[in-house]
Structure 1
Amino acid sequence: MDTFIATLPIIVLVWSMTKERPWPAHIALPLTALFIGFLQLFYFQGRAPELAANTIAGLLSVLTPLSIVAGAILLNSILVRSGSQEKLRHYLESVSSNKVAQLMIIGWALTFMLEGASGFGTPAAIAAPILVGLGFPALRVALLTLVMNTIPVSFGAVGTPTWFGFEALNLSEETLLEVSSLTAFIHFVAGFFIPLLALKFVVGWRDIRANAVFIFISVLSCTVPYLLLAQVNYEFPALIGGVIGLSLSIAFAKFGVGLKRVNYTSTNLKKESSLENIVVGLSPFIIMIVILVITRVQQLGVKPLLNNTEVWFQLFDIEVSKALIVSWNDILGTTISWSYKTLYVPALIPFIVTIVLLIPFLKVSFFELRHAVSETGERIKHPAIALVGALIMINFMMQGGESSPMFIIANNLADATGENWLYVASLLGALGSFFSGSATVSNLTFGGIQYGIAEQAQLSVPLVLSLQSVGAAMGNMVCINNIIAVSAILGINNQEGKMIKQTIKPMLVFALVAGILSQIMP
């Protein structure tokens, strides 16, 4: 009965968002959160103060994804109004007018690099508007970017899901590197399938077959260095793989290697590839990438400054650190806490900083800036409500520790599968990402469960943890937060259920690949 009651809200949520006349996320998620709160209070004997504290934490936690989305929408609006995005479109068309090449360069290689540098939903926030600016349909682009942005995720944000996600397990350096190696290998093999399934959302199989050589060159340009580096390091595989992959993808596309020949529709190619278009079109993204690398790479010394937790001042129970980290510990006398890293969450840095630097360069008028801000406010209203519902729902599902609905589901999955756990271990990681919106949080939440299952069933601990890491990454395809965020950025309304129906298919293919590989890996 406990398992049924714990699973019931998930069933209700999926049904409400995928039925014939689906509820929009800003209605379905808050109602589901209310339903789980009711179950916590009257079935799981959840304490009212903790429910109240989790509600407050959920309301405040929305600042993180919402500020990222708002920053991305504002930047994109300014780029459109200033003409920068149009110039970028001209430049990319000058590299190759082949649509598959454009999708691989932006949707795959650029996304791969940005995930390695930052994570936090930044890749889709940057890449998706570029592709829409190139003329691709918004809904199809959203599906493509959700599926593409999975393989680099285990090593996203300079390896955070791996080195921080499993930190509580106190793994040895040798074990962590083994987890890194196995994780990268599974992603490497999945790289032969997942990008193809992502492309299918936008172009047909005929185009994919005609450009298959370039597609695999672009994929391998990222995944080969990614795999090799993961044998000795778990911070830079995605970042370095993305840099190499993006450079090679542009170079090969420029010379048409492996691409079906497509005639340019423009009558003035020289104008389209002019230095002005290259500089103006790429400058926003070059600035952002430089800022992300400077602020994310530990060795450069800026990252510790942005994460400095030394208290600057305190107001009642709220603390503000010298790095402007706002924290509220022990909300309402519980153990529940909340914090917002003002300088590290990729909103103020890099989006707002980039906008400030670009205003004089792109000659953005006050009138254009005011309208961009107004448009941003309008577009984030419904996503804000949906995200609040999602985050409160997540907190309620995890309330109760080992007696929480989330842990009841996880433990029953383990009991039901026994020694066959390897086949479905990745799905638990995906479940964590589906709810939390973060591969890191999924690893933090379920890493201990996976570790315990591995020991009980006498399975390889590094292998089980690598499946958890892979699952947490592939869960980005169906993650509610990610779907809401990319929909808000692209102006897609009330399509969340339809998107989950579409992205769950490649996610299950990914899980199948991981399950099969788990049987032949050490």
Structure 2
Amino acid sequence: MNTILSALPIVLLIWVMTKRNPVPSHIALPTVAVLVAFIQLVFFQADTGLLSANVIAGALSVLTPISIVAGAILLNRVMFFSGAEAVLSQWLKSISSNKVAQLMIIGWAFAFMIEGASGFGTPAAIAAPILVGLGFPAIPVAIFALAMNTVPVSFGAVGTPIWFGLSGLSLSEMQLMEIAKQTALLNSLAALVVPFIALSFVVKWRDIRQNVLFILLSILSCTVPYVVFAQWNYEFPSLIGGAVGLGLSVLLAKQGVGLNKSATTELSDKVIEVKTIMKVFLPFALLIAILVVTRIPQLGVKALLNDMTPWFTWHVGDAGFEVSQALVFSINNILGMDVNWQYKSLYVPAVIPFLIVSLICIPLFGMSRVLVVTSLRDTGRRLFLPMLSLIGALVMVNLMMQGGSQAPMLLLAQAFSGLLGDSWGYAAALLGALGSFFSGSATVSNLTFGGIQLGIAEKVGLPVSLVLALQSAGAAMGNMVCINNIIAVSTILGVSNKEGFIIKRTIIPLFAYALVAALFSIVSLAL
């Protein structure tokens, strides 16, 4: 009964958001969060104070995703109203007018590189508006961008899902490296399937077949260096793979290698000056450079932006509000409970780099005050309803995690493992995906379910490195159905009330990914 009650809110949420007349996410998510609270209070006998503290923490947690979305939208609006986006589109068309080539360069290789540097859902947030600017329809682009932003996620934000997400499992460096190797190989095999399905949401299968060689070469240009680098490092595979893949994909497209010539229209005679192209690409170069500098621990900047040395402290009873020297805002022991909230204002990629780069763009592109105000207003106009949706989602997640070993989320995980026993490898990736679906983060999924996966592996006698690689890959593939990411991309593209529709589409490549993971498990155990 407890397992059924744990699953009820999830089943209800999926149904109301995907039925013929779907309920908007800003209504569905808060409503389901209330249902979870009711189930916790009535059936799980949850402590009222703890429940209230988790609701407050969940509501406050919206500041992280909504600020990132706001920063991404602002940069996009600045690029749009300044005319820089139009120049970028013209340049991409000068590389190749072939739609498949444009989708692979921006939606695959460029997003791959951004994921390696940043994570936090920024690849889809940056790539999707560029593709819409090229003339692709918004909703198919949203689905495409979400499906594509999976393979590099396991090593996103300079490997955070691996080195931090699995940090609590007391694994040796050798074990982490083995997990990284298997994860990279599994993700690369999935990359031979998922991009084709993702492309089918935007272009016809005929176009995919006619350009299949270019697609494969573009995929391999990212995944080969990705796998090679993962043999000895788990921080940079996605960043290096994306950078190499982007350069090679542009070169291949420029030469027309593997592209259907009849579908490629004659390029425009209009010549774009190198200086103009460099100016348009400068914001993206700054974005990547800042992300890399702020996320590589060895450079020391990351530690400065996460410095928890107290600057201001205020206590009310057991609860305490604190601001650190790096402007990390914290509330500890909310309502006297062991529930905390934190917002790293300088590390979350909202102010640094999105706001900073947006401000640099104003003089760079000579924007007038009217255009700046228009950009700000357009950004603000898009944020209110998504904020309600995200509050509902994050409160729901916090409540699903409440209850220790009897938390609804963990009961669902235990139910899955109990059904499969030593066949757990077939479905281990789906548990990782479930974690990302709830939390919106591959890192959080690994933190949440890594211990459970480790325990299951040891209990049923499966290789620990294989099961944790399946968890890591599953957490990455869950990105495409994650409600937070869907809301973020939809908001940036100005799409409303289509979250359920998008989930129904992204579930297709999710299951394809899961099938690859299951086959990988079978083959690995057989060898």
The alpha carbon displacement at 1:395 in A equals 0.4
The alpha carbon displacement at 1:14 in A equals 0.6
Tell whether the 8 Å contact from 1:114 to 1:239 is kept in structure 2 after alignment. Answer: yes
- Report the counterpart of residue 269 of structure 1 in structure 2: 270
What one-letter code is carried by the residue in structure 1 that aligns with 2:205? W
Please, what is the CA RMSD of the aligned residues? 1.0
2:332 is equivalent to residue 329 of structure 1:
yes
2:491 is equivalent to residue 492 of structure 1:
no
- Report the counterpart of residue 309 of structure 1 in structure 2: 308
- Report the counterpart of residue 59 of structure 2 in structure 1: 59
- Report the counterpart of residue 15 of structure 2 in structure 1: 15
Task: For residues 296-339 of structure 1, give each alpha carbon's deviation from its aligned partner in whole angstroms, at most 9, with x where no partner exists.
Answer: 12222211111111111113311111111111111111111110
- Report the counterpart of residue 291 of structure 1 in structure 2: 290
- 1-structure distance, mates of 2:250, 2:414: 47
The alpha carbon displacement at 1:449 in A equals 0.4
**Segment of structure 1 superposing worse, 364-373 or 493-502:** 364-373
Tell whether the 8 Å contact from 2:94 to 2:267 is kept in structure 1 after alignment. Answer: no
Runs of 4+ aligned structure 1 residues displaced above 3 Å come to 262-267
Residue of structure 2 aligned with 1:461, choices 456, 459, 464: 464
2:279 is equivalent to residue 280 of structure 1:
yes
- 2-structure distance, mates of 1:86, 1:265: 19
Tell whether the 8 Å contact from 1:113 to 1:239 is kept in structure 2 after alignment. Answer: yes
Task: For residues 206-261 of structure 1, give each alpha carbon's deviation from its aligned partner in whole angstroms, at most 9, with x where no partner exists.
Answer: 11111111111111011001001111111010011111111111111111111112
- For 1:182-197, list aligned pairs within 5 A: 182-197=182-197
The alpha carbon displacement at 1:278 in A equals 1.0
- Report the counterpart of residue 477 of structure 1 in structure 2: 480
Q: Secondary structure at the match of 2:348?
A: coil
The alpha carbon displacement at 1:268 in A equals 2.5
- 2-structure distance, mates of 1:175, 1:182: 11
Q: 1:229 to 1:337 in 2, by over 3 A?
A: same
Task: For residues 337-373 of structure 1, give each alpha carbon's deviation from its aligned partner in whole angstroms, at most 9, with x where no partner exists.
Answer: 1101111101001110001111111111111111111
- Report the counterpart of residue 95 of structure 1 in structure 2: 95
- 2-structure distance, mates of 1:358, 1:506: 37
The alpha carbon displacement at 1:76 in A equals 0.8
Q: Secondary structure at the match of 2:329?
A: strand
Tell whether the 8 Å contact from 2:163 to 2:234 is kept in structure 1 after alignment. Answer: yes
What one-letter code is carried by the residue in structure 1 that aligns with 2:348? V
- Report the counterpart of residue 443 of structure 1 in structure 2: 446
- Report the counterpart of residue 420 of structure 2 in structure 1: 417
Tell whether the 8 Å contact from 1:88 to 1:280 is kept in structure 2 after alignment. Answer: no
- 2-structure distance, mates of 1:293, 1:479: 25
2:257 is equivalent to residue 257 of structure 1:
yes
Q: 1:418 to 1:312 in 2, by over 3 A?
A: same
What one-letter code is carried by the residue in structure 2 that aligns with 1:445? T
Q: Secondary structure at the match of 2:180?
A: helix
What one-letter code is carried by the residue in structure 1 that aligns with 2:246? L
- Report the counterpart of residue 352 of structure 1 in structure 2: 355
Runs of at least 5 residues in structure 2 that lack an aligned partner in the other structure = none
Task: For residues 43-69 of structure 1, give each alpha carbon's deviation from its aligned partner in whole angstroms, at most 9, with x where no partner exists.
Answer: 101111111111111111000000010
What one-letter code is carried by the residue in structure 2 that aligns with 1:500? I
Tell whether the 8 Å contact from 1:313 to 1:320 is kept in structure 2 after alignment. Answer: yes
- For 1:175-254, list aligned pairs within 5 A: 175-254=175-254
What one-letter code is carried by the residue in structure 1 that aligns with 2:339? I
Task: For residues 375-395 of structure 1, give each alpha carbon's deviation from its aligned partner in whole angstroms, at most 9, with x where no partner exists.
Answer: 111101110000000000000
- 1-structure distance, mates of 2:139, 2:264: 27
- Report the counterpart of residue 381 of structure 1 in structure 2: 384
The alpha carbon displacement at 1:265 in A equals 5.6
- Report the counterpart of residue 71 of structure 1 in structure 2: 71
- 1-structure distance, mates of 2:49, 2:464: 37
The alpha carbon displacement at 1:263 in A equals 4.7
Tell whether the 8 Å contact from 1:86 to 1:281 is kept in structure 2 after alignment. Answer: no
Tell whether the 8 Å contact from 2:97 to 2:267 is kept in structure 1 after alignment. Answer: no
Q: Secondary structure at the match of 1:520?
A: helix
TM-score, normalised relative to structure 1: 0.98
- 2-structure distance, mates of 1:497, 1:277: 41
- Report the counterpart of residue 523 of structure 2 in structure 1: 520
Runs of at least 5 residues in structure 1 that lack an aligned partner in the other structure = none
Q: Secondary structure at the match of 2:427?
A: helix
Tell whether the 8 Å contact from 2:78 to 2:361 is kept in structure 1 after alignment. Answer: no
- 1-structure distance, mates of 2:384, 2:510: 29
Q: Secondary structure at the match of 1:142?
A: helix
The alpha carbon displacement at 1:280 in A equals 3.0
The alpha carbon displacement at 1:277 in A equals 3.6
**Segment of structure 1 superposing worse, 308-317 or 94-103:** 308-317
Tell whether the 8 Å contact from 1:88 to 1:277 is kept in structure 2 after alignment. Answer: no
